[in-house]
Amino acid sequence: MIRREADFVRVTAPLTDEEVLELKAGDPIRITGVLYTGRDAAHKRLNELIKEGKPLPVDLKGQIIYYVGPTPPKPGQVIGSAGPTTGGRMDSTTEPLLRMGLKGAIGKGERGSAMREAFKKYKAVYFGAIGGSGAYLAKRITGQEIVAYPELGTEAIRRLTVEDFPVVVINDAHGVDFYEEGRRTYAVK
């Protein structure tokens, strides 16, 4: 579900194609619902399963992957610091996941031009989270469980329950890149 408010857009995950197409580069977003975690090692394993035609440990249809390796929680916490890792590191392993129905990814930094085209082709979006805000972002996570690859430690795939998780649409499903738009606007001024 997508609901536009005065200062941001509320998104309930998982997402449909129609919902993704409503999101525009630059939209400030608050996500509530489920996110899955996945970084380099998990992406590699998922890609191997896809190549072998084997089932994935999680159904990615409509889901959002957060590129994060959270720290262990302190007593009384749901999760430790949970700041984003660089999205570009997953460029070579993201498109197969998009083909499986993934609708979004959260990281920091830019994605390559091939990935921006893939987000457009598969009706998906790339959200940016602010690096260095791991302690704050952890407060938006209300539940977590490891659902695959526990042996990977912090890189295990986790199912996170989030409430009002703050991100910005960086690459929308229409091919618009928020960073490029920002540089273009700045150059004009």
Model confidence at 189: pLDDT above 70: no
pLDDT of 186: 78
Q: How many domains does the chain have?
A: 1
**Cis peptide leading into 150, omega within 30 of 0?**
no
pLDDT > 90 in the chain, percent: 91
CATH number for the domain including 34? 3.20.130.10
pLDDT digits (tens, 9 = 90+) for 72-122: 999 999 999 999 999 999 999 999 999 999 999 999 999 999 999 999 999
**What pTM did the predictor assign?**
0.95
User: Which pLDDT band holds residue 30 (cuts at 50, 70, 90)?
Assistant: very high
Whole-angstrom Cα distance, residue 84 to residue 81? 10
Tokens, residue 36: 């899955």
Higher-confidence residue of 132 and 101: namely: 101
User: What is the mean predicted confidence (pLDDT) over 25-43?
Assistant: 97
The DSSP secondary-structure symbol of 38 reads -
* Residue 158 domain boundaries: 2-188
The mean predicted confidence, pLDDT, of the chain is 96
Question: HEC profile for 52-118?
Answer: HCCCCCCCCCCCEEECECCCCCCCCCCCCCCCECEHHHHHHHHHHHHHCCCCEEEEECCCCHHHHHH
Give bridge partners of residue 29 from the DSSP assignment: 9, 167
